[in-house]
């Protein structure tokens, strides 16, 4: 029970931290670290909390889902930026 609560708190804080970093354009750290690297770091922090790295591990699976969502967000943002840049050129 405690592990599930801890995992829920961790995942919530990671998601909140991720959204806050995306919203903050004034943050030097957000500008210096690539979005993909931020996703990698989120996964690493989450996995460190999970402890046991043997699979199947529901905690690690949740970390992977969170990382996959982060990667998908980065890719969709890049596609949107590319499309808007193409529209400006035309």
pLDDT of residue 30: 46
pLDDT, one tens digit per residue, over 19-75 is: 555 555 545 444 556 888 999 999 999 988 887 777 678 898 999 999 999 999 988
Res. 83 pLDDT band, cuts 50 70 90 = confident
pLDDT of residue 76: 87
Question: For the chain, what is the HEC assignment?
Answer: CHHHHHHHHHHHHHHHHHHHHHHCCCCHHHHHCCHHHHHHHHHHHHHHHHCCCCCCCHHHHHHHHHHHHHHHHHHHHHHHHHHHHHHHHC
């Amino acid at each position: 029970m405690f592990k599930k609560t801890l995992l829920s708190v961790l995942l919530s804080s990671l998601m909140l931290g991720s959204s806050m970093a995306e919203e903050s354009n004034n943050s030097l750290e957000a500008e210096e670290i690539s979005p993909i690297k931020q996703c990698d770091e989120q996964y690493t922090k989450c996995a460190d909390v999970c402890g046991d790295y043997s699979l199947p591990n529901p905690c690690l699976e949740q970390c992977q889902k969170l990382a996959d969502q982060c990667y998908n967000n980065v890719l969709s943002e890049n596609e949107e930026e590319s499309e808007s840049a193409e529209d400006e050129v035309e």
